[in-house]
Amino acid sequence: MKRTRRCVEWRGTVAFMRRLLVCLALLAAGCGGGAHRAAATAKPAALERDVPRLSQVAPCTSITRASCAVLQVPLDHSGRTAGTLDLCVAMSGPDGAPVLVFLSGGPGQPGLPFLATARSRLGAIAKRYRLVVIDQRGTGRGALRCPALQRQMGASDLARPTAAAVRSCAARIGEKRRYFTTGDTVADLELLRQALGAGKLALDGVSYGTYVAERYALAHPANVSRLVLDSVVPHAGVTLMSEVSMQATPRVLGPAATRDLAAVVRSRHDGPELLDMLTSLSIGRPHLGVAVRALRSAAAGDRRPLDGLAAAVLRGERAFKASDLSQGLHASTLCADTRAPWGGEDAPAAGRAQKLRTAAAGVDVGPYDRETASANGIALQCLYWPTTPVAPPRLAANLPAVPTLLLAGTKDLSTPLEWARAERAHAPRGKLVVVPGAGHSLQTQGVAAVKRALAAFLTG
């Protein structure tokens, strides 16, 4: 029972996340300023397990009407490197019902804290499914922990880390960092499907979770019944430079605020910090109005409201612990999966910085500057991340022809509407629902149109 208890007795992070999001919302409204275990045998883990199974199944201690369990998976799915990971799983609903797996974002978020809220959002629809969440490898209790990098970035993609913090993180994780790619998580999901005894999975992914869902569908098209893609990341991946978010900013802010933003960036050269702030304020129900007012003041010469808002958002981001969103996993995954100007993740470190600057010089950065493209948090994490050979997957051009619901908000700068539209073109049975004025993670915002679309999709 000890391992099962470890999977469920840290639910306090849910309340913490809620309090933090509420705090950020109030600030925006203007109220102020699976752990790795080495295998004991030399026999490869991939060969030891004939049929995947869930172990230590028991009622969750902090999630009502749910069971918690452990899924043991190989560290290396090829079987060449020994070792296993214990991933925490939670389930709710009748055995034998169709399985709906919720996939959290990041990369770096755990899954278990979101089961109860997902069940509540679905209401009566939840009774039709067996709802399942999983702490993806390197998250939750098994989070990859990098204290310095976590302090600097917290929950942010774009806050700028130091080279020392990134390199210290890579050294702390060691050579096993190559086993925390999206491809590894996809392989874990296939073992989860088998352990659940499910013929097919319905997948509901949010943000990075959409990318995992898409990659699973591409790898195992016969094992997917339907896809919900909320705040879409394209399955072909994105670049390190965040240029689509920068190009989407004028559409999101409007012309006057865009002119103010451009003027502030020209005078202060703090584009990465401003893009980070605006992106954070577009998550959940967007609170961009206070940023628009602060930019107006800054463009007129008074930087105090903008500086106070940016500092408050950054403090909120940095409050996230590794168990809330692991920056060690974030770097391990993104730097293996994301297209870089210097080539694959096995490219040598020498020459990377120049290739990044050259690539940034060739993109449309909208109201920002070139440094926003070449020195945002994602770009710097991967610039400083050491050479890590990872074989890129072969991808089909289109998602499989399964029912696919894509959800996008017009005010989302984290996963801009442009990405959802691009992915819709590669979803043969896709339907895109665009919600005016909504931000990132639409299922959490209580939007009536989203509830109706989700109910019709999941019961159709």
Residue 48 has pLDDT above 80, yes or no: no
Task: List pLDDT tens digits, range 395-416.
Answer: 899 999 999 999 999 999 999 9
H/E element, 186 = helix 182-196
Per CATH, the number for 1-460 is 3.40.50.1820
35 sits in which H/E element:
none
pTM (2 decimals)? Answer: 0.91
Exposure class string for 360-393: b at 16+ Cβ within 10 A, else e: beebebbbbbbbbbbbbbbbbbbbbbeebebeee
Cα–Cα distance measured from residue 337 to residue 344, given in angstroms and rounded to the nearest whole number:
9
Residue 423 has pLDDT above 90, yes or no: yes
How far the first Cα of the chain sits from its last, in Å, is 40
CB 131 within 8 A of CB 93: yes
Query: In this predicted structure, what is the pLDDT of residue 26?
Result: 38
The secondary structure of 288-302 as a DSSP string is -HHHHHHHHHHHTT-
Is the separation of the CB atoms in 231 and 411 below 8 Å? Answer: no
What is the per-residue pLDDT across 130-139, written as a single tens digit (0 to 9) for each?
999 999 999 9
pLDDT band at residue 393 using 50, 70 and 90 as cut-offs:
confident
Taking only the tens place, the pLDDT of each residue in 181-235 is 999 999 999 999 999 999 999 999 999 999 999 999 999 999 999 999 999 999 9
Cα–Cα distance between 97 and 99 in angstroms, integer?
6
The phi, psi pair for 370, rounded to 5°, reads: -60, -35
Domain ranges of the chain: 1-460
Q: Lowest-pLDDT range, 15-19, 275-279, 396-400?
A: 15-19
Lowest average pLDDT, out of 188-192, 347-351, 374-378, goes to 347-351
Overall residue count recorded for the chain in this entry: 460
Look at residues 94, 131, 99 and name the one whose alpha carbon lies nearest to residue 115: 131
Q: What percent of the chain has pLDDT over 90?
A: 84
Q: Give the number of other CB atoms < 10 A from CB of residue 309.
A: 24
Instruction: Give the DSSP letter of residue 392.
Output: P
Separation in Å, CA 68 to CA 54, 135, 287: 9, 11, 36
State how far the alpha carbon of 224 is from the alpha carbons of 69, 91, 198, 217, 436, in Å.
23, 18, 10, 6, 30
